[in-house]
């Protein structure tokens, strides 16, 4: 056993923080006290071999997504490691939620400037807690030294042919969103000092929405067969809605006055600022959904069972482009969402 002050090697690090006590990981016995994550019976071979072996359900489609978080770009340098661990998985779970898929397995490519125990403890706790909450098992990864970058690949399953897509919306569909928008944008502005809030309880709530987003996995899965299209909101409605509408070959109309804004956001900012965050800031990880008007109530009932609000904000129409209105007047939406190469 190694002393707690000695530097961690690559394989000690994997065993201690990510192998979940799985015997045989990196050839060493599992470390007692390591994070205990889900052990799925469909994992034939998890961490410790050259690749994972996973057994897919009969009659299912395999659903795969990957997302990378880069320090200073996707989260402020010096963010709580637990939040970084949580978010790195949450953003991927959100992609599966948007497909209506059930997540099952994840791999983690971790690039770290140094193997610091306290950072790794926080990071793995944030990652593993969210994984356990969704029944996801970490089945492999890669660990390298370099500038802090976290790539997570998520794999999940969905009943064959039933996945939700961006492109299925029909003219006349209601456009709706889960939860509230703009909270994470406000939270990030509070974390970075670009905004201040007098109401400390509200500020803490907004920061929590940025640091610990809750992917809408159950809602997405339950929306299959009811919604006609879905996508997750990672870049802000103003940036994401054009992609959504284009995928269905339709135009979209949004009544900006109907954007769901949380109490915490309303008490911390002017309505204009709150709307700006809701439209342009991103990081909310709510689901944007198109649903036939006659089935809206059905989907709202699904949301309500999950303690989630579900708000109609507009509709889809024949044509192209997005129109925004406020109090019956045309509204100039803020600049598009984030683009890494612009």
Which residues make up the interface to ligand ADP (CB under 6 A)? 14, 18, 26, 47-50, 108, 110, 138, 140-143
- In the bound state with ligand ADP, the residue whose beta carbon lies nearer, of 65 and 265, is 65
Task: State which H helix or E strand residue 199 sits in.
Answer: none
Cβ atoms of residues 314 and 255 within 8 Å? yes
The option from Mg ion, ligand ADP, none interacting with 49 (CB < 5 to 8 A, set by class) reads ligand ADP
CB of 339 to ligand ADP, least distance (A): 29
The option from ligand ADP, Mg ion, none interacting with 186 (CB < 5 to 8 A, set by class) reads none
**How does DSSP classify residue 332?**
-
**How does DSSP classify residue 163?**
-
CB of 86 to Mg ion, least distance (A): 24
Residue choice 142, 171, 297, 335 for contact with Mg ion (CB under 5 A): 142
Q: How many CA atoms lie within 13 A of 253 on its CB side?
A: 15
CB-based burial, 162-187: b 16+ in 10 Å, e otherwise = ebbebeebeeebbbbbbbbbbbbbbb
- In the bound state with ligand ADP, the residue whose beta carbon lies nearer, of 137 and 232, is 137
- In the bound state with ligand ADP, the residue whose beta carbon lies nearer, of 14 and 158, is 14
| Strands of the 329-330 sheet, one edge to the other | 229-233, 286-291, 174-178, 310-317, 251-255, 322-326, 329-330
CB of 129 to ligand ADP, least distance (A): 15
Residue least distant from ligand ADP (Cβ): 141
CB of 115 to ligand ADP, least distance (A): 11
Q: Of 62, 145, 149, 60, give the one whose Cα is nearest residue 108.
A: 149
Sign of torsion over alpha carbons 22, 25, 31, 37:
negative
- In the bound state with ligand ADP, the residue whose beta carbon lies nearer, of 11 and 338, is 11
Binding residues for Mg ion, rule CB under 5 A, total 1
Phi, psi (rounded to 5 degrees) for 217: -65, -45
CB of 155 to ligand ADP, least distance (A): 13
How many DSSP H helices and E strands does the chain contain?
A: 10, 13
CB of 142 to Mg ion, least distance (A): 4
Q: Is 297 in the site for Mg ion (CB under 5 A)?
A: no
The option from Mg ion, ligand ADP, none interacting with 37 (CB < 5 to 8 A, set by class) reads none
Which residues form the interface with Mg ion (CB under 5 A)? 142
């Amino acid at each position: 056993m190694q002393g707690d002050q000695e530097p961690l090697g690559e394989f000690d690090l994997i065993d201690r923080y990510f192998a979940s006590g799985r015997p045989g990981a990196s050839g060493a016995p599992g470390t007692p006290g390591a994070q205990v994550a889900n052990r799925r019976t469909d994992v034939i071979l998890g961490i410790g071999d050259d690749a994972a072996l996973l057994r897919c359900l009969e009659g299912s489609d395999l659903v795969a997504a990957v997302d990378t978080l880069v320090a200073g770009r996707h989260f402020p340098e010096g963010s709580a490691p637990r939040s970084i661990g949580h978010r790195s998985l949450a953003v991927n779970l959100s992609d599966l939620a948007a497909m209506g898929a059930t997540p099952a397995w994840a791999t983690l490519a971790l690039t770290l400037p140094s193997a610091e125990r306290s950072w790794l403890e926080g990071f793995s706790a944030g990652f593993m807690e969210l994984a356990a909450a969704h029944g996801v098992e970490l089945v492999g990864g890669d660990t390298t030294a370099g500038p802090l970058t976290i790539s997570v690949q998520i794999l999940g399953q969905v009943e064959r042919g039933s996945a939700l897509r961006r492109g299925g919306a029909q003219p006349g569909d209601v456009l709706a969103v889960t939860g509230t928008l703009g909270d994470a944008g406000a939270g990030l502005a509070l974390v970075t000092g670009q905004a201040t809030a007098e109401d400390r309880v509200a500020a803490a709530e907004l920061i929590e929405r940025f640091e610990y987003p809750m992917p809408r996995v159950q809602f997405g899965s339950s929306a299959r067969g009811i919604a006609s299209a879905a996508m997750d909101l990672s870049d802000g409605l103003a940036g994401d809605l054009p992609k959504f509408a284009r995928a269905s070959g339709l135009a979209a109309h949004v009544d900006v006055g109907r954007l769901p804004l949380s109490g915490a956001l309303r008490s911390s900012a002017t309505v204009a600022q709150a709307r700006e965050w809701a439209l342009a800031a991103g990081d909310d990880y709510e689901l944007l959904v198109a649903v036939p008007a006659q089935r809206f109530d059905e989907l709202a009932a699904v949301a309500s069972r999950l303690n989630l609000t579900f708000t109609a904000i507009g509709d889809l129409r024949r044509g192209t482009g997005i129109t925004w209105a406020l109090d019956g007047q045309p509204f100039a939406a803020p600049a598009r969402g984030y683009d890494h190469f612009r």
